[in-house]
């Protein structure tokens, strides 16, 4: 009935473009294109367009695209359609002439059997015209959603400044989403609500959905489902007191998740327990540190520590993702901006790099070393060694490297491990040897070699870590072997290079 928005831990998320999808009906409505639907439904969402004349385009599809082909290598239409459906393509567009005068009947039959929309592209319409029309429609939809979200943010912020801010924010949210917004206590009772009443069945389903989140640490930040003919969503607040926002609407638009996320941040602030002046001063010092102040400037206020720096990647691209992570580690969120762009409570979180299109955010946390850091569902964590206040810059670099390692090996948590054999070698001598040995390597060859060695020579995992094609990795490693004049299949050579890269 419902699903957690942070349930994925090891599977790679399907990438989505930074714009709302366009319904196929919008393309079919363009008379200048002359497109004609031959099979399948017409209301499917299109995320992007891709042209391929491969006999099997499966390896080159991301899912959700309009695949365009003229059937140059179309030998078995039934097998071709089965592979396209397996890859997750949203629809198939077939261009007639010069290869085929009409769309093959076998292709129409196969698409109808699999429920894959099949669109005929007339000879006078080039594939590039279809692609250009799709991008224009996506740009228009994106602009509309940005305006809508911006207006909603302004409305919610104004509501938060009113004399009774919590009911005002709930009312503004319900109005913007066209439904009902309610605040639930930790025991599941409704403490405040706004908007129109919903059927009893939907109200029960919403309470059940709120119970999916609950106050337990490490749980999902949000969950969604359906009940009583309405679209339901629940969002855990970041105040650490178990409050949850529940929303029931007739429809769910692309920007609704972001609008609800802004409301979650505001409600987290408005319902957070009062904190003393001493804690506020400490938070201010940590904010200065995360914004780039030199550690000696704030060490006296911050305290000697030790502290633990954590870098995390994950969440669902919304403002409350970082708040949920902070709460899961036992630290309530005090402030946060929009997804990926705000500053949370300084000893809790600073988020950066996330976007409103659902891209996972990157979060930096600064915690007392006594706080246990464990695996968190939906997040990948890199943890530095405990450090004093004047060593936090080095600890920050350790956490960043640990996160890169965790993402490369697809582990939920990787900790920095100091020491080892490298500590027995004089650092200056090791650095001099590294400079001489690795001198021929320029970037990105050095970074590619380091990543490749760290992943035991795996082409695929190195390609994932560096976000390049595996053939690019092969070419770079071959270039490294030629420049160094070394056999990279020799384990002794690999060991020497690994130590050199670490000492450089």
Nearest to 306 by CA among 369, 383, 371, 364: 369
What confidence tens digit (pLDDT) does each residue in 447-500 have? 999 899 888 888 888 988 888 898 989 999 998 988 888 888 888 888 888 888
Of the residues 249, 271, 293, which one is the last residue of a structural domain? 271
Phi and psi, residue 430, nearest 5°: -65, -40
Query: Is 51 part of a structural domain of the chain?
Result: yes
User: Residue 200 falls within a domain, yes or no?
Assistant: yes
Q: Of 384, 418, 452, which residue constitutes the final position of a domain?
A: 418
When pLDDT is cut at 50, 70 and 90, the band that residue 128 belongs to is very high
> Is 17 a member of any domain?
no
Does the residue 152 lie in any domain? no
CB 25 within 8 A of CB 43: yes
Token readout for 276 is: 């003393």
- Select the more confidently predicted residue: 41 or 366: 41
pTM above 0.75, yes or no: no
Burial of 459 (0-12, 13-18, 19+ CB in 10 A): middle
C-beta of residue 133 within 8 angstroms of C-beta of residue 27: yes
Domain shared by 383 and 429, yes or no = no
Please check whether residues 291 and 400 belong to one and the same domain: yes
pLDDT of residue 286: 53
pLDDT of amino acid 336: 33
pLDDT of residue 211: 81
Other beta carbons within 10 Å of 1: 12
Q: Are residues 267 and 281 in the same domain?
A: no
Q: What is the mean pLDDT of the chain?
A: 78
> Bridge partners of 51?
68
**235 assigned to some structural domain:** yes
Q: Are residues 413 and 294 in the same domain?
A: yes
Q: What is the mean pLDDT of residues 6-24?
A: 53
Tokens 């365009």 belong to 68
Looking at 367, 388, 418, the residue that finishes a domain is 418
Q: Is residue 85 classed as helix, strand or coil in its secondary structure?
A: helix
Sign of CA dihedral 360, 315, 168, 346: negative
| Rounded Cα gap, residues 50 and 81, in angstroms | 15
How many domains does the chain contain in total? Answer: 4
Q: For tokens 């990543």, what's the residue?
A: 451
* Beta-carbon contacts of residue 57 (< 8 Å; ≥ 6 apart): 50, 67, 69, 83, 84, 87
Spatial neighbors of 312 by CB under 8 A, at least 6 apart, are 325, 362, 363, 364, 365, 376, 379, 380, 381, 382, 403
User: Do 177 and 249 form a contact (C-beta atoms < 8 A)?
Assistant: yes
Range of the domain at 375: 277-418
Picking from 226, 217, 214, the residue whose alpha carbon sits closest to that of residue 185 is 214
Predicted confidence band of residue 364 (pLDDT cuts 50, 70, 90): confident
Residue 442 domain-assigned (yes or no): yes
Q: Structure tokens of 449?
A: 């070699």
Is residue 16 packed enough to be buried (19+ CB in 10 Å), middle (13-18) or exposed (0-12)?
A: middle
Q: Tell me the backbone φ, ψ of residue 357, rounded to 5 degrees.
A: -85, 10
- For residue 52, give Cα distances in angstroms to 65, 71, 81, 105, 139: 12, 9, 13, 20, 24
In this structure, the answer to whether residues 394 and 284 fall within a common structural domain is yes
Identify the top-confidence range among 133-137, 158-162, 409-413: 133-137
The string of DSSP codes covering 382-409 is EEPPPB-GGGHHHHHHHHHHHHHHHHHH
Query: In sequence order, what are the residues at sequence separation of 6 or more whose Cβ sits closer than 8 angstroms to the Cβ of residue 16?
Result: 47, 64, 357, 358
Q: Is residue 117 domain-shared with residue 212, that is, in the same domain?
A: no
- In angstroms, the CA 381 to CA 400 distance is 9
The domain that holds 174 is classified in CATH as: 3.30.450.30
User: Sorting pLDDT into bands at 50, 70 and 90, what band is 28?
Assistant: very high
Note the pLDDT tens digit of each residue in 293-325: 665 665 565 566 687 888 888 765 555 566 666
pLDDT digits (tens, 9 = 90+) for 383-435: 988 888 777 778 888 888 888 888 888 888 988 876 656 555 666 777 888 88
Q: Nearest Cα to 327, choosing from 381, 288, 367?
A: 367
Residues 298 and 405 in one domain: yes
Beta-bridge partners for 234: 223, 246
341 three-state secondary structure: coil
- pLDDT, average across residues 175-188: 86
**Band of residue 129 on the pLDDT scale cut at 50, 70, 90:** very high
Q: From residue 31, how far is each of 26, 65, 130 by CA, in Å?
A: 10, 21, 11
Distance from C-alpha of 478 to C-alpha of 449, rounded to nearest angstrom: 10
Distance CA 393, CA 81 (A): 54
User: Does 482 share its domain with 409?
Assistant: no
Residue pLDDT, tens place only, 50-108: 999 999 999 999 889 999 999 999 999 999 999 999 999 999 999 998 899 999 999 99
CB of 186 closer than 8 Å to CB of 241: yes
Predicted confidence (pLDDT) at residue 175 exceeds the cutoff of 80: yes
| Among 114-123, 277-286, 293-302, 416-425, the least confident range | 277-286
Q: What angle do CA 294, 297, 298 make, to 5 degrees?
A: 100
State the Cα–Cα distance between residues 195 and 265, nearest whole angstrom.
20
Helix (H, G, I), strand (E, B) or coil at 434: helix
Does residue 344 share a domain with residue 467? no
- Comparison of pLDDT for 278 and 488, the residue scoring more: 488
Q: Is the pLDDT of residue 337 over 70?
A: no
In a domain, 3, yes or no: no
Judge whether residue 19 has pLDDT over 70: no
345-to-283, 327, 412, 496 alpha-carbon distances in Å: 7, 11, 24, 43
Residues 294 and 267 in one domain: no
60-64, 142-146, 158-162, 211-215: segment of lowest average pLDDT: 211-215
| Range in 264-273, 339-348, 374-383, 491-500 the model is least confident about | 339-348
d(CA 488, CA 1): 52
CATH number, position 99: 3.40.1390.20
DSSP 3-state percent helix, strand, coil across the chain (nearest 5):
45, 20, 40
Element (H, E) at 319: helix 319-328
């Amino acid at each position: 009935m419902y699903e957690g928005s942070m349930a994925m831990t090891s599977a790679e998320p399907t990438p989505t473009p930074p714009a709302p999808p366009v319904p196929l009906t919008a393309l079919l409505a363009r008379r200048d294109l002359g497109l004609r639907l031959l099979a399948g439904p017409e209301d499917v969402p299109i995320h992007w367009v891709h042209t391929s004349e491969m006999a099997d385009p499966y390896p080159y599809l991301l899912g959700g695209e309009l695949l365009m082909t003229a059937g140059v290598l179309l030998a078995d239409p039934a097998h071709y359609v089965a592979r396209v459906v397996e890859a997750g393509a949203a629809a198939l567009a077939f261009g007639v002439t010069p290869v085929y005068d009409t769309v093959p009947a076998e292709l129409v039959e196969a698409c109808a059997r699999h429920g894959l929309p099949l669109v005929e592209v007339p000879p006078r319409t080039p594939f590039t015209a279809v692609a250009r029309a799709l991008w224009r429609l996506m740009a228009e939809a994106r602009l509309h959603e940005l305006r809508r979200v911006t207006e909603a943010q302004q409305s919610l912020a104004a509501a938060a400044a009113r004399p009774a801010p919590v009911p005002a924010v709930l009312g503004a949210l319900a109005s913007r989403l066209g439904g009902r917004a309610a605040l639930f206590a930790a025991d599941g009772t409704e403490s405040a609500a706004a908007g129109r009443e919903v059927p009893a069945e939907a109200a029960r389903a919403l309470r059940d959905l709120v119970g999916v989140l609950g106050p337990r640490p490490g749980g999902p930040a949000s969950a969604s489902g359906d009940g009583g003919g309405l679209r339901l969503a629940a969002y855990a607040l970041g105040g650490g007191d178990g409050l949850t926002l529940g929303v029931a609407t007739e429809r769910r638009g692309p920007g609704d998740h972001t609008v609800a996320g802004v409301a979650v941040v505001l409600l987290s602030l408005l319902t957070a327990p009062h904190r003393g002046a001493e804690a506020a001063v400490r938070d201010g010092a940590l904010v200065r540190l995360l914004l780039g102040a030199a550690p000696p400037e704030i060490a006296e206020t911050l305290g000697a520590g030790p502290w633990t720096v954590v870098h995390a990647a994950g969440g669902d691209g919304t403002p409350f993702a970082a708040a949920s992570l902070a709460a899961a580690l036992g630290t309530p969120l005090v402030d946060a901006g929009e997804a990926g762009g705000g500053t949370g409570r300084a000893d809790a979180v600073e988020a950066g790099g996330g976007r409103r299109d659902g891209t996972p955010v990157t979060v930096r946390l600064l915690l007392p070393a006594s706080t246990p850091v464990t695996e968190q569902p939906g997040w990948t964590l890199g943890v530095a060694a405990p450090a004093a206040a004047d060593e936090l810059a080095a600890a920050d670099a350790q956490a960043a490297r640990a996160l890169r390692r965790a993402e490369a090996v697809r582990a939920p948590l990787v900790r920095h491990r100091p020491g080892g054999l490298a500590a027995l070698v004089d650092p200056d001598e090791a650095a001099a040897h590294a400079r001489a040995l690795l001198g021929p390597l320029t970037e990105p060859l050095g970074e590619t070699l380091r990543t490749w060695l760290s992943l035991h020579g795996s082409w695929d995992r190195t390609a994932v870590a560096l976000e390049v094609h595996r053939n690019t990795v092969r070419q770079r490693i071959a270039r490294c072997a030629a420049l160094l004049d070394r056999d990279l299949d020799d384990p002794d050579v690999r060991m020497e290079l690994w130590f050199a890269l670490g000492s450089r």
